[in-house]
Chain A
Amino acid sequence: MTEPVLDVRGLSAGYGETTVIRGVDLQVNPGETVVLIGPNGHGKTTLLRTISGLIQPSAGEIRLDGVRVDRRRAEELGGLGLVHIPQGDHLFPELTVEENLLMGAFPRASWRRRREALTQAYELFPQLRERRGQRARTLSGGERRQVALARGLMREARLLLVDEPSLGLAPVLIEAVYAAVHRVAEAGTTILLVEENFTYIGEIADRVCVLEMGRIVRTGSLTELLADRTIAESYLGVL
């Protein structure tokens, strides 16, 4: 039996006095793509932010490749191979597209290979090559999402966290974004991805976890979950 890349046990966290996630258990195995589904405001983003160290948990354990990391800060965890592509992109608005990408390769080891990583990023998102000298704040929503994804791929990820890559994009752009995520998953990267519904995850989800009211209420393959009428109806999404 292989050790999970990510092993979350009994994790609770929130903001100040407010607890948002309550006793979450979650494992992601090597090479697997796990999709976390759930309604807005039920703790998906908080869970990702806690895993990546932006929020300190109030209880529970997080292990990355067997190593306890729940007291580490986000800036340290990145060095252990955790890459988090945050909700709403969080680009550096006054940096150029290329500088944003280069920030993705900030750790010294990745910095040495930044040229190759840039070439790869521009191959995956050719539009960004034309925009390389432009400030991020001048980009369209679709271009920003591409920069956010490309920046997350600038260094090697042991675990890739992707928070709602479809957010705010037109369907045709979402498909392009998911095509990119799909390629990354195919290359063997271990992924934990957050979405609000089932619409786009069919191709990539090895396993789906449903997060409601801060708890994981169901786990299974997409087919299993779609067979459950109440879940299928809640998360099929309306387009």
Chain B
Amino acid sequence: MADLVAILTSAVVLGSIYGLVAIGMTLIYGILRVLDMSQGSMVMAGSFVGWAILSSAGWNPVVAMVVAFVLTFALGAVTQLVSVQPLLGRGGFDFEMITFITTFAVAIVIQNVALEVFGPRQKGVPPVFDGSVEVYSGVFLPYQSIAMALVSIGLMALLGLFLAKSRWGMAIRAVAQDLDAARLMTVPIRRMFPLVMGLASALAGIGGVFLGGLYFASPSAGELPLLYALIVVIFGGLGSLPGTIYAAYAIGLIQAAVSVTIATTWALPILYAVILVVLVVRPQGLAGRPSEARL
């Protein structure tokens, strides 16, 4: 029973943070058909914000999240403007492949700027919340993890609400489904694209504040989250928001289950084996639908 509780709590915590970091990538892929490789550096930037603000006494975690949001929003919007916007509507090349590389290039630049500014050493980020609670006999859950899960779920719910209910949210979904028709409805796509990439990056940035508390802030802190986000996004079915969330929790669950019942060291090999099998059987991912190229 303790094992089960441990697996489930850990799955929820892991799944939530994977979901938060990956959902922005799905959003970007949905409207732009860009696999945004700069999302990892947004996590990294967020963890440095967490380090800078939380390690100076008296700063509160809400401020850290707000600053991370604003900073990575701007960083994401600028990334779009330099690496994707100039390529729009030109034709004659493989848009998805080229933007995969251009956003990756921006990520490397950001990473190296961080290296110049902060140096290569890992910096401990104080947890947003200290201490832990015993959820079941022998199963302890750090407050940091609870906060991370709650904030991630809250932000994903807010994003879902925004997309489902607001005028702009509806327009974002419309752009993802039929770009030309959305333009005929007067949706200003050239203004929307950088804003959406900013929003997506800001979610990853807030994720970074928490991940920094679990691991460290360092220039390479975005590499692993980027890899996970890529796997979640593809496993869920490129461009599918519900698929991304299923995939995030599925991956969290597999990882937690293997770690608790077998051994932590087996978590990754078994996870990748499962992903390999699922993708070979169902290459479009859990919730993906075959779709045609568009930009």
Contact = CB atoms under 8 A, between A and B. Distances in A.
Interface of A: 16, 52-54, 73-76, 78-79, 83-84, 86, 90-95, 99, 102-104, 106-107, 111, 151
Given A16-B91, A91-B178, A91-B181, A75 B170 contact: no
Contacts of B167: 102, 106, 111
Contacts of B177: 92-95
A94 B170 CA distance: 11
B141 interface: no
Contact of B185 (A16, A76, A104): A104
Contact of A75 (B91, B173, B188): B188
List of 9 A-B pairs having minimum Cβ-Cβ separation, nearest first: A78-B186, A90-B181, A74-B183, A92-B177, A75-B183, A106-B185, A103-B185, A92-B174, A84-B184
Interface in B78-133: 91-92
A75 B185 CA distance: 7
B174 A54 contact: no
B295 interface: no
Contacts of A107: 186
B184 A52 contact: yes
A167 to B, nearest CB: 16
A38 B179 CA distance: 27
A103 B174 contact: yes
B187 interface: yes
A53 B173 CA distance: 22
B186 A90 contact: no
B70 interface: no
A77 to B, nearest CB: 8
A65 to B, nearest CB: 17
> Which of B167, B184, B188 has the most chain A CB atoms closer than 10 A to its own CB?
B184
Interface residues of B, number: 20
Given A16-B91, A106-B167, A94 B173 contact: yes
Interface of B: 91-92, 167, 170-171, 173-174, 177-178, 180-190
B188 A90 contact: no
Given A103-B171, A111-B167, A54 B187 contact: no
B186 A95 contact: no
B181 A86 contact: yes
Given A91-B178, A92-B178, A106-B167, A78 B184 contact: yes
Contacts of B186: 75-76, 78-79, 106-107
Nearest to A94: B177
Contact of B184 (A16, A54, A102, A111): A54
Contacts of B173: 92, 94-95
Contacts of A16: 91-92
B180 A103 contact: no
Given A16-B91, A106-B167, A78 B185 contact: yes
29 contacts: A16-B91, A53-B183, A54-B180, A54-B183, A54-B184, A73-B190, A74-B180, A74-B183, A75-B183, A75-B186, A75-B189, A78-B185, A79-B186, A83-B184, A86-B184, A90-B178, A90-B180, A90-B181, A91-B178, A92-B181, A92-B182, A93-B178, A94-B173, A95-B173, A102-B170, A103-B181, A103-B187, A106-B167, A106-B171
B219 to A, nearest CB: 39
A104 B183 CA distance: 11
Given A54-B184, A75-B190, 11 more contacts: A16-B92, A75-B184, A91-B178, A92-B173, A94-B173, A94-B177, A95-B174, A103-B171, A103-B174, A103-B185, A111-B167
A75 B179 CA distance: 11
Nearest to A90: B181
Contact of A95 (B91, B170, B184, B188): B170
